[in-house]
Amino acid sequence: MSIKKLADARTYLDSLEKNEYNEYLKEKFDNELKEEIVLNHYQNKTEYALNEADIKTISDDCGKYCLDITEDEIKEIFARKFPRKYFVIQAYKNEVDEKYYCHLTPNYLTSYNMELGGSSFGLQSGLHDALKFTSEETAIKWKDYAKDKFLNRSWEIVEIDERLLGKYKPLYVL
């Protein structure tokens, strides 16, 4: 729904008799209006980053409709609507693995020291400990290095968003 229609609906609800249901509807429209204002702010942008200037502009836009919005609310809406994207490197065994089925399920490139090579550089099955790259170019560099270390595997770089990682703050991000 457009900002104008949400604002009109909210104004209409203000004119109605105050009761629990109307207050519930007003709160629902307020929340939808806040989301639309945040989305509208990023409508013509190619990069989705949240900075102080964006927060101020969004807050001012909400003020035009007599809405109070906190910085935490803006950040929460932003995180829900624009989750961070990461790249992970998956490897599959080329030959059939009857014991662990590594030809069907991926292993992920990891390095607990976050160094290219070294003693903690390897493959493991969990996404939580996998290296997460913010740039595909960096992921390609690491994949090319790993190809020479771990032979007889097929490799791919997969884009994921942070929602797949659960509520934990992502670890091993490069």
67-79 tens-digit pLDDT: 888 888 888 888 8
Report if residue 95 sits inside a domain. yes
In this structure, the answer to whether residues 109 and 161 fall within a common structural domain is: yes
In this structure, the answer to whether residues 117 and 69 fall within a common structural domain is: no
In this structure, the answer to whether residues 76 and 49 fall within a common structural domain is: yes
Q: What is the pLDDT of residue 87?
A: 96
In this structure, the answer to whether residues 63 and 99 fall within a common structural domain is: no
Whether the full predicted model's pTM is greater than 0.85, yes or no, is no
Judge whether residue 36 has pLDDT over 70: yes
Number of domains in the chain: 2
Alpha-carbon distance of 77 to 95, in angstroms, equals 45
Mean pLDDT score, 1-16: 78
Cα 29 to Cα 4, 106, 171: the distances in Å are 12, 44, 37
Q: What is the pLDDT of residue 136?
A: 94
Q: Which among 48, 81, 114 is the end of a domain?
A: 81
Report if residue 171 sits inside a domain. no
Show Cβ contacts of residue 147 under 8 Å, excluding neighbours closer than 6 positions.
153, 155
Please, which pLDDT band fits residue 1 given cuts at 50, 70 and 90? low
Among 159, 162, 143, which residue's Cα sits nearest to residue 91? 143
In this structure, the answer to whether residues 90 and 76 fall within a common structural domain is: no
Q: What is the CA radius of gyration of the chain?
A: 23
Q: Which among 27, 59, 81 is the end of a domain?
A: 81
Range(s) of the domain holding residue 141: 85-165
Mean pLDDT score, 84-97: 90
In this structure, the answer to whether residues 56 and 94 fall within a common structural domain is: no
In this structure, the answer to whether residues 90 and 105 fall within a common structural domain is: yes
In this structure, the answer to whether residues 97 and 73 fall within a common structural domain is: no
Report if residue 170 sits inside a domain. no
Q: Please, which residues bridge with residue 103 across strands?
A: none
In this structure, the answer to whether residues 29 and 76 fall within a common structural domain is: yes
Report if residue 128 sits inside a domain. yes
